[in-house]
Structure 1
Amino acid sequence: MELPAAATSVSRRQALRLAATTATSLVASSALAAGVHGEFPSNTSRRKSELSLVVPYAAGGPLDRSARKLAAETTTLGSIQVLNVLGDGGAKGAAMVARAGAREPMLLMGAVATHAVLPWLNPQLPYDPLRDFQPLTMVARMPHVLVMRADLAMQWRIYTPDDLLRFMSKTRQPLRYASAGNGSIGHIAGQLFQALTRVPLQHLPFSGASPALSALLDGSADLMFDNIASALIHLRAGRLKAIGVTARSPLAVLPQVPSLEASVPGLSLPTWFGVFATAGIPDALARRWSDAFAQTLQRPKVQEYFDAMGVIREDLRLQDFARFLQQEHSYYGKVLKAHQLIP
């Protein structure tokens, strides 16, 4: 076959250069493909630059802030892009990571809602929390606190869980409580509160903790079981009043706020969040990513950042994190069934 005229004019030097470029591309492609079966090559900048960390909730919340801090500080993995993928109480973002596939894996800042609660509330969830993810590093536990606007709490004379129960029993009007979405711990806490006290609440779901908190502050909602990292700045500024915490004892950052369980036995909901990868990645890569995030969490300035948010730092990795996940999945299934929140 005769070459086009343009091709016949290519000089020997240009041809050699073109051949060398093509060979280099083929070698790089082969190395990238080989990385699927072992650790991705450390010099593959293309692979590093494509690593994405999905936050399944709105920007500005504690999971988003934690993800962005980890992404910025974990420099050994190259550039990590944080993506906020909202919808279905966190399920949309989680499903995106689950479907990514081992050849193009993604990371997820998953939480108790996406991995231990939603699977029980929605049998048609488009992912399996235990099968479709590789647990890497648990980041922190995050207590929740029942809050109201400070001026409303003063107007209604509500300062403790017992005050709230007396007020609600007297009025019998359902107070509106905002949450980070269906299946979030804030949502489940409200449902459990109703089941245990027999007092009515009206649920107002949002796409994350930040918009839910905005609704509380502007008067669109009356109550919120908010995470401590989100509520703390407003509590310290006097905009919110803490009524009780969803822990078995008062928190170090809120020593004067009583435990809700003292007034509502059974209302203790541990919550947590951590980094997951798409299932099926090589073990060596899982260890590398897990170690990188764990090392970042040990840095003093990162520890100070999380301490300032009021979260409790953790250090569970890989198999230990996976075992913890299985326990949490089972625990919430029992809690939800025991209180008839699911069939």
Structure 2
Amino acid sequence: MKRRKFLGLLGGAAALSAMPPPASAQSPYPDHPVRILAGFSAGGGVDITARLVGQWLSQRLGQPFVTENRTGADGNIATEAVVNAPADGYTLLLATLPNAVNAALYPKLNFVFLRDIAPVAAVVRVPMVVLVHPSCPAMTITELIAYAKQNPGKLNLASAGVGSAPHMAAELFNVMAGVSMLHIPYRGQSPALADLIGGQVQIMFAAAPGTVDYITSSRLRALAVTTASHAEVLRDLPTVASSLPGYDASQWYGLAAPAKTPAEIIERLNGEINATFADSAMQARFTAIAGEAMPGSPADFGRLMAGETEKWAKVVAAAGIKVE
């Protein structure tokens, strides 16, 4: 089902905006194919977003924008490849929350994310949802906090991996709520969800896409969404912040380039990405992955990247998170 949905998304994106490229597409950039490096495997949010953006840019700018999955080290391999690529706009990065986390999680990287990567455009933000196995007695976030405090270390917390967005959302919750849950990392969200459904673990902060069926069938109980405001994909759920003021966590995706990429190329790409938010067919594709639009300038995306890097560095330090 996931593969069919993924292929359907790409098929829908391929049919987007049959209009001819704008007149500005006759300018020198791009005059040959462009690579978008995705630091995670095919079929996940990073990969799907990169391919949707790539197909849009291919149609708008008249050259192929090809997604290349360069996996490993929580996205660091892809990021380093972009850092070391020529700053000419032909090698781009689909940046995401782990890029901000890795700056603190990996102390010996061969690059500095905020210094060596230039923001181009934010694309979408994806909410996460707090899920518990039906055997967990908590029905609300307030009850979950109380139960965790009464049973320190007895709640097994699944995640998609150390430093993943769901892991960091859970650690932020632990720090702010003053609770302790035993973290059990998995290699991706799917195996973690499988063990949560099976009752091997009791709680998980999960990216919203792919969870709705489990919630509506009562195989899992959803307590809240992690975003500061209500999420469209799960509009009936309260926010974590309604019980834990100030809490806010979400996965986000954006396009980035090597530092010193010419400003005119960055501005051109930014304009084309922002044009997706006015295209109903493209928005339908993003809605299918629970993506909420994040229009703005390169500077806006740069502020997001900087703020997220600072925020998650504090969580990594407070929670004592280390890569094994």
Question: CA 1:323 to 1:197, structure 2 compared with 1: closer, same or farther past 3 Å?
Answer: closer
Tell me, yes or no, if structure 1 residue 107 matches structure 2 residue 88: no
Tell me, yes or no, if structure 1 residue 143 matches structure 2 residue 127: yes
Partner residue in 2 for 1:82: 67
Which of residues 56, 59, 62 is equivalent to 2:45?
62
CA distance in 1, matches of 2:71, 2:194: 17
Partner residue in 2 for 1:291: 271
Aligned 8 A contact 1:87 1:207 in 2:
no
- Counting matched residue pairs gives 294
Shift of 1:147: 1.1
Question: Cα RMSD between the aligned structures?
Answer: 2.9
Partner residue in 1 for 2:158: 178
Q: Percentage identity across aligned positions?
A: 28
Counterpart residue identity of residue 51, structure 2: R
Aligned 8 A contact 2:89 2:257 in 1:
no
Counterpart residue identity of residue 93, structure 1: A
Partner residue in 2 for 1:52: 35
Partner residue in 1 for 2:21: none
Question: CA 1:269 to 1:234, structure 2 compared with 1: closer, same or farther past 3 Å?
Answer: same
Counterpart residue identity of residue 98, structure 2: A
Partner residue in 1 for 2:253: 273
Q: SS of the counterpart of 2:222?
A: strand
Which of residues 105, 108, 120 is equivalent to 1:121?
105
Tell me, yes or no, if structure 1 residue 301 matches structure 2 residue 301: no
Question: CA 1:125 to 1:210, structure 2 compared with 1: closer, same or farther past 3 Å?
Answer: farther
Shift of 1:239: 3.7
CA distance in 2, matches of 1:41, 1:140: 25
Question: CA 1:234 to 1:132, structure 2 compared with 1: closer, same or farther past 3 Å?
Answer: farther
**Who wins on radius of gyration, i.e. which is larger?**
1
CA distance in 2, matches of 1:308, 1:185: 19
Question: CA 1:261 to 1:298, structure 2 compared with 1: closer, same or farther past 3 Å?
Answer: same
Counterpart residue identity of residue 273, structure 2: F
Question: CA 1:206 to 1:236, structure 2 compared with 1: closer, same or farther past 3 Å?
Answer: same
Question: CA 1:214 to 1:53, structure 2 compared with 1: closer, same or farther past 3 Å?
Answer: farther
Question: CA 1:91 to 1:236, structure 2 compared with 1: closer, same or farther past 3 Å?
Answer: farther
Partner residue in 1 for 2:13: none
Counterpart residue identity of residue 81, structure 2: M
Q: SS of the counterpart of 1:289?
A: helix
CA distance in 1, matches of 2:226, 2:49: 21
Question: CA 1:241 to 1:61, structure 2 compared with 1: closer, same or farther past 3 Å?
Answer: farther
Counterpart residue identity of residue 264, structure 2: A
Partner residue in 2 for 1:191: 171
CA distance in 1, matches of 2:182, 2:153: 9
Aligned 8 A contact 1:55 1:64 in 2:
yes
Partner residue in 1 for 2:78: 93
Question: CA 1:233 to 1:96, structure 2 compared with 1: closer, same or farther past 3 Å?
Answer: farther
Question: CA 1:215 to 1:184, structure 2 compared with 1: closer, same or farther past 3 Å?
Answer: same
CA distance in 1, matches of 2:277, 2:206: 24
Question: CA 1:238 to 1:54, structure 2 compared with 1: closer, same or farther past 3 Å?
Answer: farther
Question: CA 1:165 to 1:52, structure 2 compared with 1: closer, same or farther past 3 Å?
Answer: same
Tell me, yes or no, if structure 1 residue 130 matches structure 2 residue 114: yes
Q: SS of the counterpart of 1:181?
A: coil
Shift of 1:134: 2.0
Question: CA 1:264 to 1:174, structure 2 compared with 1: closer, same or farther past 3 Å?
Answer: farther
Shift of 1:303: 0.8
Partner residue in 2 for 1:232: 212
Partner residue in 2 for 1:316: 296
TM-score normalised per structure 1: 0.74
Counterpart residue identity of residue 308, structure 1: A
CA distance in 1, matches of 2:246, 2:271: 36
Q: What whole-Å deviation, never above 9, does each CA across 1:256-296 have from its counterpart, x for those lacking one?
A: 32222343444322442211122232222222222223223
Partner residue in 2 for 1:20: none
Shift of 1:196: 3.5
In structure 1, the gaps of 5 or more residues are: 1-38
CA distance in 1, matches of 2:211, 2:119: 28
Which of residues 59, 73, 76 is equivalent to 2:56?
73
